[in-house]
Amino acid sequence: MKINMSMSPPPRPSGNASVGDRLEGAFLSEMLKIAMPEPGKGPFHGGIGESQFSSFLIEQHATAIASRIDLKLDSRLEAPNG
């Protein structure tokens, strides 16, 4: 039996991402911090590790969302013409 374990890596912010793209990622990260449920209490919670690494998970979710949608924040950063 052959198992194919090829998976695409999660989207990463590129070094040449525009200011608007980075702003959208930061904005979505802050919104997800509010929207994500708090780590649970009880026998199946992740303890201190879960609370420490949850920020990385939130950042990855925000990066993935920002790469798929455009909030058009970059157009608001451009100087007005005229």
Is 53 part of any domain? Answer: yes
Per-residue pLDDT at 29: 92
CA-closest candidate to residue 57, choices 43, 77, 37: 37
Pair of tokens at residue 53: 């690494």
Q: Contact 6/60 with Cβ under 8 angstroms?
A: no
- How many whole angstroms separate alpha carbon 33 and alpha carbon 25? 12
When pLDDT is cut at 50, 70 and 90, the band that residue 82 belongs to is very low
Is 58 part of any domain? Answer: yes
Is 8 part of any domain? Answer: no
Domain that holds residue 52: 19-33+47-72
Per-residue pLDDT at 80: 67
In the chain, how many domains are there? 1
Tens-digit pLDDT profile for residues 8-62:
655 555 566 677 788 888 999 999 989 887 766 777 777 777 877 888 889 999 9
Is 80 part of any domain? Answer: no
Per-residue pLDDT at 21: 82
Is 77 part of any domain? Answer: no
63 in helix, strand or coil? helix
- How many whole angstroms separate alpha carbon 34 and alpha carbon 19? 23
